[in-house]
Amino acid sequence: MQNTSQSLTKQELQQTTLTILERCTETKVGEKPMPPEQVKKKVFNELVKLERNMSVADSIINSPLIATQGKKINVVSQIIRIIEFFLEITGKELEGYQIQVLAGDIYEKFKTDSLEDVVLMFKMARQGEFGKVYKCDTFEIMDWANKYLDYKSATRERLILKKKKKQEPEVITGKSFHELPKELQEKFSKIGKSRLITRKASDMMTTEKTLRDLEKPKEKQEVLKTEKSEALFSYEAFLKNLSETVGKMYDEALHKAFENTTQSTHPEVWEILNTEIELRKTQKELNDKSNRKTARSSKDGNKNAHPTN
């Protein structure tokens, strides 16, 4: 039976970090707004629960891009809360205007990534993944952002390599049945082997253990197939998520993501982004053509309405 609290947390992650944090400031009609300190405490408690179950791989596969999550001001407001959470835990300090400017810079840096990546970046910095935190200013934090995105890129490459890696076919070299020693021919006749035995098998067949192994299914190969399927799942889910969200991306974010994608190393991702760009280009051409046709019709209508004497 699944742990209830863990299941709820996974469900919350599916609702996105942005929506969960925004709910902390929601008030019902007729209710008074919560005091700022109470709001801050509620947001911090949610962040503690969220970051506990986050991982870079999950962010790559499941998390929506910041560019698809609505207005910039709404996202920046929650980035400010994430920064305040980090400062509260580490005991560091930044001026209010510095936090606002930093939140805007982080938004631009992670526009084609996710809000979960921002949370993970600060978590890794707090845990010393980018080195000991001697100071905390905007330059240092943006340097952490670069290191985090490099780490995320390496993680994505590992997921892609797992997908591309194929099991090499086993090269079988064997002996005909009549080439085996008479003693082995008699043993194989009893277990129904009468055509071709691999060289590796013929060398080991003098032991009773190998005879028993021949009668068992190839369990090792089945395990390898299962492990391979599980390794491919994460990347397949990432491609599925990208296919579902690419239509919501702003043009600028879409083209930036396309420029940062190499067709030779990420052919599936490149194809999804390229298809969306071509689709929008075709739609724009159709709209322009329709507008020109409408304009001509309007012009001709005006001429007919006012004939010359």
pLDDT (tens digit, 9 = 90+) per residue, 201-260? Answer: 445 554 555 555 555 555 555 554 555 555 445 677 778 888 888 888 888 888 888 888
**Residues in Cβ contact with 39 at an 8 Å cutoff, skipping those fewer than 6 apart:** 24, 25
Residue 75 or residue 248, greater confidence: 75
pLDDT at 231: 46
SS3 175: strand
**Residue ranges in the chain assigned as alpha helix (H):** 4-14, 17-23, 36-52, 56-62, 72-90, 96-109, 115-126, 138-164, 182-190, 199-204, 208-215, 219-245, 251-259, 267-305
152, pLDDT greater than 90:
yes
The pTM of the full predicted model, rounded to 2 decimals, is 0.50
Element (H, E) at 174: strand 174-176
pLDDT at 181: 78
In whole angstroms, give the CA distance from residue 118 to residue 101.
15
Of 51-55, 76-80, 153-157, 256-260, minimum mean pLDDT range: 256-260
Residue 234, both tokens: 């994460």
Say what percent of the chain tops pLDDT 90.
25
140, pLDDT greater than 90:
yes
- Where residue 26 falls (left for φ over 0; alpha for ψ -120 to 50; beta otherwise) is beta
Q: pLDDT for 120-136, tens place per residue?
A: 999 999 999 998 888 88
CB 205 within 8 A of CB 215: no
pLDDT at 29: 53
In whole angstroms, give the CA distance from residue 185 to residue 250.
71
pLDDT at 258: 84
193, pLDDT greater than 50:
no
pLDDT at 221: 53
pLDDT at 212: 59
